[in-house]
Every structure is written in structure tokens, then in C-alpha cells.
Amino acid sequence: MHMSHRERFFTALDREEPDIVPITDLGLDLPIVEAITGRKLEGFSLIGVSREDTWNVSATCREAMSEACLKLGFDAIPAISDYSLQSKKSVSEPISENRFIDEWGRILELRSDTKTTWWIGGTVQTEEDLQNYIPPDPEDEGRFEMVERLVRPLKEKDVAVMGQGHSGGWHMGFQVRGGIDKLLIDMFRRPKLAREFLEKIAETCLGMIKVMIDGGVEVIFITDDYADNRNPFMNMKMFREFELPNIRKVVELCARRGVPVLKHSDGNCYPILDDMVEAGIRGFHPIEPGAMDLMDVKQRYGHKICVLGNVDCRYTLPFGSQEDVRWDVRRCIDAAAEGGGYVLTSSNSIHANCKPENILVMVDEARKYGRY
């Protein structure tokens, strides 16, 4: 039985066997997009760009990513992210030749070699800054229009349409605050102030997700990172107090609209995975190699959630041979595909250092080896 891309993906999310293992990913950096599409994408730098052009640049780069995913034959497309969901009044504030402040108050640095921006700091430095911080407004002009622009063409395809957001204040919070260490100290020493700060950001994050759903997104991927290779950044008490309620709010909002929620986090999330599963996530990604074990997670949680992962993008996709890639794809499928409920992805995203030819091989091997 042959399935459409969309049917294949949702069958796996329902923990059933599709015709072939579905394929998607969290995102593709612009050099990969250029290599796959043959397009030359200029203007990734937003320094000095007008408000109108900032919006258009963001939308154009995201459209190109979707085009690349379609050419690769992905079953689900990461159409929009709250990172790129600009309003029409947004404008970056340059602070040097290659650094700027975005509308959240994050300090970003442009890297021309990868055509990406890297977070390097935040503008919230004092207790007074914490109290007075005002996050972006999800209802600003242009955000819904951007979602419609990016989603509408994909509705004509047979793919599942994903949107990427954040569940609460944690990820955006530590970036605006200028570091994980600073935010953790706030949570310990001044919990009331930290909670109020994080709640403001969480409200905006939830609003961004609502805009995506209103614009036609069918799956929400929440992408806050909670762990390194050893342990979660927060202890269990902090996680349950400051972040878990926000995951529940996203799940509740999406459940009312019939939209499944997938959770991304790098690192060792074993200590908090039970809590996230109980909160209602439908899938977990990417089960990072070296920090978690794909087969183990499938065996423990495959009766409750879909698992997504985890072709190695640290070594194999950037530096491996084509046979290395094929071997790693087979490793993933052997570990997690049996019985359904598995989606093949990289172990994080298709970043600029990955070889484009290895991405093509990854998809080719998954289509050949991943048949049920």
C-alpha cells in the first residue's frame, strides 16, 4: 500500500506502521538549502535592512527551506519557526559590523561562512531589566500573514506542515538574559522575579504557536533545549516548577485544535522524559547519540510516543563517507522502526557543515531500507 507523504507521517505519529519510514528534520541551514535548490540566497544579514525587507528576507529564506525539503522528498516540512516569524515593524538594531539585537533582546552574530546567526548574549542584565522586560507581541502586523504565505503553498502538496516554537520562557529566557548560568541563578536566588520574567516570555511563545495554528500549521515542534550530554540543566524541582507547566499549556492549546506536539531537546533527557510524556507530547526528538540510546527510548516509550531521530550530524553527515551514512541510517531503522511509531531525522538538524551529497544518501537509504 502506497501512502502520501502526509498520511505516512501522521501514521507514524499515531505509533502505527506506514508503508515506509517517514523522513523529516528540524531545519536546514542556508548553504544546504542553496545546494539542494540551486538558488543563491542573499540578504541573510538583517543589519541595516529596512522593516519591510526584514520581513521579506525572513519569509524568502523560509520558503527556500521548504523548497529544499520538498526536493529531498521529506514527508513533513518545517514551514515556520518563531525565530523567523517577524512582524512588519521588526527591525534589527546593529551594535557592530556583524552583531545586532533582535526584537526579543537577544544579541546575535552573523557568520557569513554558514549564512546563519549565532546567539552570543542578551540585553537583560539587571534586576530592573528583568522587571521591565517586554517581549514581542505575537499579534503584531505581519506574523499571521507570514504564516499564511509559507503554509498555503504546502497545503497544495501532500506533506504534513510543521511549525516550530518554544514551550515557555526557558530557551528564549536564557538567551535574552545572556546565559544559562544567569537564568539558573535567578531561578534559585530570586524565584519570584524569575518566574514573572519567564511567564511573560511564555505568554508570547504560546501566542506565537497560536498564530501558527491559526495560519494552518498541523504539527507543533517545541524546541527548547533542556540538557547537555550528562544531565538536564535544571534540577527536577526547577524543571517542574518553571518549565513543565509551560509544556502542558502548549499541549492543552494544541489538543483543543487537534494539533499534535513534538518535543525537541538535545542532550540527556532521561531524567525528565517521563514528565514530558505525561504532559502529553506525541513525539520526542532527536535522542542524541552519546547522550541517549534510540533503541532504549523506543523500547521504554514507544507504546506512548513516536520517536524521531537520529542519524549522526556531528560526525557522519559532515565527515563520513556515503557508506557511513547508509550504515547509520540502517542503524536507526533497525533500532526504532519495528512496529511503527518512528520518523527518521538527523540527530539535530541539517547544519551548514553537513555534506549535501550525504543528505541525499540519507534520504535514498531510508527509502530503500525503511520499507515495512
Q: How many domains, the chain?
A: 1
Per-residue model confidence (pLDDT) at position 52: 56
Query: Could you say which DSSP state residue 98 is in?
Result: S
Residue 256 burial (10 A CB sphere; 0-12, 13-18, 19+): exposed
Mean pLDDT confidence for 46-58: 64
Average pLDDT, the chain: 94
Buried-exposed string 190-207: b where 16+ CB fall within 10 A, e elsewhere? eeeebbebbbbbbbbbbb
List, for residues 263-309, the tens digit of each pLDDT value.
999 999 999 999 999 999 999 999 999 999 999 999 999 999 999 99
* Packing angle of the helix pair 51-72, 30-37 (nearest 10 deg): 60
- Cα(5)–Cα(22) distance, integer angstroms: 8
Q: Which domain holds residue 191?
A: 5-369
CA distances to 55, 133, 181, 242, 261 from 185, rounded to whole Å, are 35, 18, 6, 13, 30
2-16, 81-95, 121-135, 238-252 — which is least confidently predicted? 81-95
* Packing angle of the helix pair 169-177, 191-214 (nearest 10 deg): 120
Higher local confidence (pLDDT), 42 or 213:
213
Per-residue model confidence (pLDDT) at position 47: 44
Query: Could you say which DSSP state residue 343 is in?
Result: E
pTM tops 0.85: yes
Share of the chain above pLDDT 90, in %: 86
Q: Answer for the pair 88, 142: CB distance below 8 angstroms, yes or no.
A: yes
Residue 30 has pLDDT above 50, yes or no: yes
Residue 50 has pLDDT above 60, yes or no: no
Residue 45 has pLDDT above 50, yes or no: no
Per-residue model confidence (pLDDT) at position 226: 97
Per-residue model confidence (pLDDT) at position 48: 46
> Domain of 72: which CATH number?
3.20.20.210
